[in-house]
Chains A and B, each alone.
Chain A
Amino acid sequence: MTKQRSPYKVFIVEDHFAMRQAYIDLIARENDLKVCGVAITAQEALEQIPQCHPDIVLIDVSLDGMSGIELTQQLKNQYPELPALIISGHEEAFYARKAIQAGARGYVVKRRVRLLTQAINDVLQGEIYVVP
């Protein structure tokens, strides 16, 4: 009998309540994913991530204080193996480019949030996922 892998742990950084809830709902529908922590600022995320040991971090691009792009860069430096997926209200290709340059493995616009779990799974498989 094959032992089933425990779900991948997802950490969410998002300051908008309803969007945060949307990500949690989408992830809850997937057996192989679970939310291990939630932060509403980059600073909170940096404090909580070491306790949570996530497999992937979802980051809103527009955060108060340190931006999502800056947080991505910082996480890339601190945890080079931890993939970041940017979720953004900006549909300009400019932001997708900046996110990938900062080290993100994916970029999903909020309008296409229903594709989020597909994006998470692709990034966890080592692919780059961009939906601008």
Chain B
Amino acid sequence: MNQDSKKNDTEVNQRNLPSTLNAHLAEKQEGERRSLAQTLHDEIGQNVTAIGFNLDFIQSQFDSSDPNINFVRKRLENALTLVEETTDQIRQLVSELRPPMMDEYGLIEAIDWYANNLSQQTGIKIDVQPIYFAPRLPSWVENTLFRITQEALINIIHHAKTDRASIIIEANATHVKLSIVDNGVGFEQQKQPRLTETFGLRTMIERAKSAQGVCSIESQLNQGTQVTVEVPR
């Protein structure tokens, strides 16, 4: 093996792992979210579903014409309602922790799903223009890009006062680029934004850096905002 190929192997290996302390911590948190979401979905959620099925079965065994067991039927109905509500809460929690399809299907499907969900919840139309590319980015880089996209979309919802946004994903031989664009109120970049906004913007920039990428935020008053993040493949 020559020196160049050794160097390339080392680069590839390093690329598969976060390179900074912040990135390590972010990835650790991502692992915890993954594990929690999986336990909630695969174990607790299924147990609750099975409890619901059993209650439903017990209810079906009662003679509906017997007035003496009406109070039991009422309790069972209440229990089944609780099972439905708990199932909804678990599902919501799992979705908030981490897109369920992220590990198996990757970043693009996760962004598309998240944008659709957010559109339904907020009424803001989010257009996603996906590009599918192979091989996939390392898992921790996908996580980083997803969290930046999420942060940018949440900023749009909280601050942009708009009803439209778009996410454009581009890939060439060396880089993947994501642009999150809105046509909202924007802000004057010279003026200091509020602390919470500054923190959100700084987080996106730091996250991109940790993936050896760059994140830029361009905005003009009343002309919307564009967050662009570019990472090497």
Contacts and interface: CB of A to CB of B under 8 A. Distances in A.
B50 interface: yes
B109 A67 contact: no
A110 interface: yes
Contacts of A92: 100-101, 113
Contact of B104 (A22, A67, A91): A67
B129 to A, nearest CB: 18
Contacts of B11: none
Interface in A88-127: 89-92, 94-95, 98, 110-111, 113-114
Interface stretch (B39-47, B134-142, B176-184, B208-216): B39-47
B49 A113 contact: yes
Given A67-B104, A92-B100, A113 B41 contact: no
Interface residues on A, range: 10 to 19
Given A90-B100, A94-B101, A94-B109, A18 B46 contact: yes
A92 B109 CA distance: 12
A114 B56 contact: yes
Report the interface size class on chain B: 20 to 34
Interface of A: 16, 18-19, 21-22, 25, 62, 67, 89-92, 94-95, 98, 110-111, 113-114
B113 A110 contact: no
A66 to B, nearest CB: 11
A114 B53 CA distance: 7
